[in-house]
Copies of this chain bind each other. A is one copy, B any other.
């Protein structure tokens, strides 16, 4: 009983953080791994947001700006370096869950999956030092980052 006020306070805190915790936590497909699937899809969307800026510059659709390019690449590197603990629980695959394209092969080859994750983290870290140095460097480095994305998707993501 003596923990009750603390528990109420923390429940209120969680609600304050999220507005209403449940809808945010239960986004995704609403299944047992909705929280984890939402988190990893959110991470992918933040990758995409920053890569979209860089691709836009590479294609000439957005004017090249060294600060903006460098910041997008630094954000990408920071995101790719996040520890993804808790995001990939066994059972949260595309075979058993709607709303995810994470193939069961991930859990059959966790070392291979980790190697691909590290491949992106390393490519993004290198790119963070390149994208702000000029448009040619931005374009060249994007190939390595895109290769790292694609290597993981090819092996571990269900085609649409």
A residues lining the B interface (CB < 8 Å): 3, 6-7, 10-11, 13-14, 16-21, 24-25, 27, 35-36, 38-39, 41-49, 51-53, 55, 58-60, 68, 71-72, 74-75, 78-79, 81-83, 85-87, 101, 139, 142-143, 146, 149-150, 153, 157, 160
Contacts and interface: CB of A to CB of B under 8 A. Distances in A.
Tell me the interface secondary structure of chain A in the complex.
helix
Contact of A82 (B53, B75, B87): B75
B19 A153 contact: yes
Contacts of A160: 19-20
Nearest to A41: B42
Given A17-B150, A55-B14, A68 B85 contact: yes
A18 B59 contact: no
Contacts of A142: 10, 13
Contact of A35 (B47, B49, B83, B153): B49
Contacts of A38: 45, 49
